[in-house]
Amino acid sequence: MTTETGAGQWGTALSMACSYFDLDCKVFMVKVSYEQKPFRREVMRTYGASVTPSPSMTTEVGRKILADHPGTTGSLGCAISEAVEVAVTNPGYRYVLGSVLNQVLLHQSVIGLETKAALDKYGVKADMIIGCAGGGSNLGGLIAPFMGEKLRGEADYRIIAVEPASCPSFTRGVYAYDFCDTGMVCPLAKMYTLGSDFIPAPNHAGGLRYHGMSPVLSQLYDDGLMEAVSVKQTDVFEAAEMFARVEGILPAPESSHAIRVAIDEALKCKETGEVKNIVFCLTGTGYFDMVAYEKYHDGQMTDYIPTDEELAVFRAKLPQM
């Protein structure tokens, strides 16, 4: 099993299930999150999971990644590679995927269905729907029923994917076939990608630090049915702090990407005098992310944005189809 935050709640829930059923649960947690989110790591260990920072020296693919990227803090793509290797080389093990692919988006669509039901109950129609996007499962689940209406011509919505400026798969990636993992052991998928060898800066975007994007969302984006924007992490935490002080809820860094753009869009409406219903998804709370909030409050948080030259290096390594 791989885990990231945003997908961190997923890892914790699976650890609890493994504990209940007395199963051997091995978790590969992205190294930067392993270090930045020690309490999330300890929750999983409390429920009986063994948690390994990825990339690690415990797998062949992990050792190769470390040789190619000495000192790397890892990414979701690295953790996927290691988890798949363990699953296929140990009898009785299964790999549990938490993002990107179609079946996960379908599972997450309960979020969108509940949102749609609540809006319909109160006679509210959304004008725009905003969600954070890393691998795409949360956003895909949120927008599913609304996009269905849009595709059938029953209603129109402005749909916005928000990603970190440090890992801009949609806004600066290319639509191409690529590996879903850094170790290149998984199948190819056609998606917006920065290149499977791309490892994001060790920022606090958690589960949004993934080089590619859901094939379904990639197709919708390429067809012009949704938009994408990227935001800097200092701006994200500014919005997170504002949200916490107004709503009394400390949001997860991933959720705060959507909050940032929801605030920006609301301010635009304030300037123009327009009245719009803005829906965004609060994916989780940030109580396991206090290291990130500490960095922000102490003025130690920085914004890293890859250059075009850096991205070109990884783009050149894409599979030639």
Domains of the chain in sequence order: 2-89 (3.40.50.1100), 102-297 (3.40.50.1100)
Beta bridge partners of 228: 161
Global pTM reads 0.90
**Helical H segments across 167-252, by residue range:** 169-172, 215-222, 233-247
**205, 289 Cβ separation under 8 angstroms:** no
**pLDDT for 8:** 47
**32, 74 Cβ separation under 8 angstroms:** yes
Structure tokens at 84: 């798949």
Provide CB contacts within 8 A for 142, sequence distance 6+.
108, 111, 112, 115, 129, 131, 281
**pLDDT for 26:** 86
Residue stretches of the chain with pLDDT short of 50: 2-8, 10, 12, 16-17, 20-21
- pLDDT tens per residue across span 103-155: 889 999 999 999 999 999 999 999 999 999 999 999 999 999 999 999 999 99
- The string over 50-85, giving b where at least 16 C-beta atoms fall within 10 Å of a residue's C-beta and e elsewhere, is ebbbbbbeebebbeebbeebeebbbbbbbbbbbbbb
CA 34 to each of CA 20, 21, 128: distance values in angstroms, whole numbers, following the listed order:
24, 25, 35
Beta bridge partners of 162: 132, 229
Beta bridge partners of 132: 162
In this structure, is the dihedral angle defined by the CA atoms of residues 144, 150, 153 and 154, taken in order, positive or negative?
positive
Q: How far apart are CA 187 and CA 240, in angstroms?
A: 36
**pLDDT for 149:** 97
Beta bridge partners of 165: none
Q: How far apart are CA 87 and CA 2, in angstroms?
A: 11
**pLDDT for 95:** 85
In this structure, is the dihedral angle defined by the CA atoms of residues 21, 98, 3 and 77, taken in order, positive or negative?
positive
**pLDDT for 14:** 53
Q: How far apart are CA 147 and CA 160, in angstroms?
A: 12
**295, 231 Cβ separation under 8 angstroms:** no
**pLDDT for 23:** 58
